[in-house]
Structure 1
Amino acid sequence: MAEKTRYSDEELAEFKALILEKIELASRDYQQMMDVLTNKDGNGVEDTMPTYKVLEEGSMTQTKEELTTMAARQQKFIQGLQAALVRIENKTYGICRVTGKLIPKERLRAVPHATLSIEAKLAQK
């Protein structure tokens, strides 16, 4: 029996459903991070005690920097998932871009935006 060169339409539909679910969750998380960064839910009442203000400013800056980094990573993750949807539509999803072989389903379920097999990923190092 010849080795499969691509996933069937049914398998691609299963991956598409998984990816759409992950995009929805990731988008919700991203929006929550952006809401915090832009102080969307802030009540507009600032703490006017100068002592507390000085102590909190450093912590708030660090928190905002960490949140900005997390939001950027989340946005990159969403873009990777959207690119995976394009590959599903092109019927090239799940094919390693280095070896040309199918990426195992287990890997795609864990990392649905993967474009490399474990073999190719390890060879990069």
Structure 2
Amino acid sequence: MMEALKQPPTRDELKTVLNENELAYFEALIIRKRDEAMKELDFLLSSLEEQRSSDDDDASSIDHHMSDMGSIEESLDLTNRLIERNRKFINQLNRALERIENGTYGICRATGQPIEKERLEFAPHTRYSITAKNSGLDKRVVMS
């Protein structure tokens, strides 16, 4: 007999158990991480612009090899992937700040239970507890 999957908690059921000081601490941590990620994003964007400019200069040169062109493309691809990864991370941090504002920060979206403070220290943008992550519940939850 299959056990029925428990429905994820509704948004109204997700209320933080963290006190004001803890929320202020995590808010500051998230803002610091977001500022760092934004600086890194700015660096990557300027690096990408430099790579493209350098690529344009190299393309006008007669003495370039196919292997050089492949290396340039690979470097551009890596930089673009890092840019997208940073943008996604910044969005996750912004959503964590929204959860602090609406009182749902630190509650697992899959189980409705508090997320371990150690996990929030490590990944303050997380929406899932270690239990949910390890059991794959984070992959099955679709919240409205």
> What TM-score comes out, normalization by structure 2 length?
0.75
- Please tell me the residue identity of whatever aligns with 1:66: L
Deviation, 1:5, is 5.5
Q: List structure 1 segments (4+ residues) > 3 angstroms apart after TM superposition.
A: 52-55
Identity of aligned residues (%): 38
The root-mean-square deviation of aligned C-alpha atoms, in Å, is: 2.5
The residue aligned with 2:35 is 24
**Cα-to-partner distance string for 1:10-65 (whole Å, 9 max, x where unaligned):** 1000000000000000000011111111228x68x935652246442211110000
- Please tell me the residue identity of whatever aligns with 1:82: N
**Cα-to-partner distance string for 1:82-112 (whole Å, 9 max, x where unaligned):** 0000000111100001111110111001011
The residue aligned with 1:62 is 74
Check if 1:39 corresponds to 2:50. Answer: yes
The residue aligned with 1:91 is 103
**What runs of 5+ residues in structure 2 fail to find an aligned partner?**
1-14, 138-144
The residue aligned with 2:10 is none
Check whether the contact 1:37–1:68 (CA below 8 A) recurs between aligned residues: yes
- How many residues align structurally? 122
Determine helix, strand or coil for the equivalent of 2:17. coil
**What runs of 5+ residues in structure 1 fail to find an aligned partner?**
none
